[in-house]
Structure 1
């Protein structure tokens, strides 16, 4: 796909509701903001945030960095993501990926949204490999248990083609996850083996939070109900967070991917 220009991509992002008026309910956003402020680990994505974040603080950083509705009395209905902020962050992400390509840096790629974002990561991985980067794939098969209402369920690290990390359940189905533990396990294995250490992580959810917490340059994607990465960016732990609806049909991200690679000089 030929890369769209900024105006063309902006129109496509708004049309597909990746940005602009999005389908994420405001009440869900506010609930997640409240839980992050309360330090619920599931909503911190592995980040050890240093500030004392109040609910108002979280709303303010989400207005600034994501473009949600700034009215604290907007309690119900849909919310917003500012497409200009999305485009600015895509350009910054592209710049950092381009630098990784020019330096042939070791990288890790991982997603907690395998059903929707995997093709984006795969395209970036292919381009980085072609430029000489080493895509690291540690801790394949590492497993852990998560708590569920009916007991526990297994999760284990698997890699999609092109070296994109994700987790699957005991039946081999890939799963959405906020957990930082898989990225922590990947980095622990690399450290224990004195193997290549990633100069860049391209990720989302807990994969990104754990990488940023470990001091790795981290760029990633986050929805407007995922405030932790934006707070992490405000504290300097995450380099770039691209605000977008991360649950749209995967083919709608193709123009964004082409724009990102073109910005990186890898189109």
Structure 2
């Protein structure tokens, strides 16, 4: 794909609602901020964040790092992600991935959004592998029981082509916020210091657990997932790219091209 200019990418992000006025409703955002402030583990995404984070401070971070509406009395309706903040973070993420390529680092890639973000991670993995990086695939087949809206179900770590970790169960891949799978991956890698990753490229609990473990971590987060942005504020996450992580997969292709170009991997 032709690499878009910054202006072209910005227009694309707004047109496809990856950024700008997005589909995630304000009331859902505020509910998640409240639950994170209450230290609900599901919303901490595997990080041990400071207990002093309250709803007001979380909103402040989300205004500064994501571009959500700053009015605390805006309780219902649409919310926003600033496309310029998205692109700034994509550029920062590209710089860190480019550094990984130059250093030929060991990398783990994982997504809690297999239906939408997998092609982004696969493109990054192909580019890094071509530059001599090692893409790690630990704990394949590791499984656990997790609570769902339908009761308890088994989930298993599987790897898509190009070494992107995700969860599978009942014959299909699943959205997840859980940190447990990344924690299992890191527990296996910790047995051999030569296999410890230099960089994690991930989202949701996969990213949070990696950042909590002290690994350089870059990834993507929606405006209703405040923990990664608060984690960035605390220095646990290197780069969190704000975007709607649930649009059709093909719409992320221009962003991916721009990211890889910024990394020097296009």
TM range (shorter): over 0.9
Task: Identify which range, 148-157 or 29-38, moves more after superposition.
Answer: 148-157
Partner of 2:254: 255
Partner of 2:138: 138
Partner of 1:44: 44
Q: Deviations over 1:198-238 (max 9, x none)?
A: 10000000000000000000000000000000000000000
Question: Is 1:198 matched up with 2:197?
Answer: yes
Alignment of 1:102-141 (within 5 A): 102-141=102-141
Partner of 1:245: 244
TM-score scaled by length of structure 2: 0.99
Partner of 1:212: 211
Partner of 1:97: 97
Q: Deviations over 1:49-82 (max 9, x none)?
A: 0251111011110000000000000000010000
Residue 192 of structure 1: SS of its match in structure 2? coil
Residue 153 of structure 2: SS of its match in structure 1? strand
Alignment of 1:107-186 (within 5 A): 107-169=107-169, 171-186=170-185
- How many residue pairs get aligned? The number is 266
Partner of 2:17: 17
Q: Deviations over 1:143-196 (max 9, x none)?
A: 000123553100010000000000011x22100000000000000001124441
Question: Is 1:32 matched up with 2:32?
Answer: yes
TM-score scaled by length of structure 1: 0.98
Task: Identify which range, 180-189 or 144-153, moves more after superposition.
Answer: 144-153
Residue 24 of structure 1: SS of its match in structure 2? coil
Residue 197 of structure 2: SS of its match in structure 1? coil
Residue 24 of structure 2: SS of its match in structure 1? strand
Separation in 2 of the partners of 1:67 and 1:240? 15
Separation in 2 of the partners of 1:23 and 1:220? 20
Separation in 1 of the partners of 2:226 and 2:76? 18
Cα deviation, residue 121, structure 1? 0.1
Task: Identify which range, 47-56 or 226-235, moves more after superposition.
Answer: 47-56
**Gaps in structure 2 of 5+ consecutive residues:** none
Partner of 1:236: 235
Partner of 1:76: 76
**Gaps in structure 1 of 5+ consecutive residues:** none
Residue 126 of structure 1: SS of its match in structure 2? helix
Separation in 1 of the partners of 2:212 and 2:38? 19
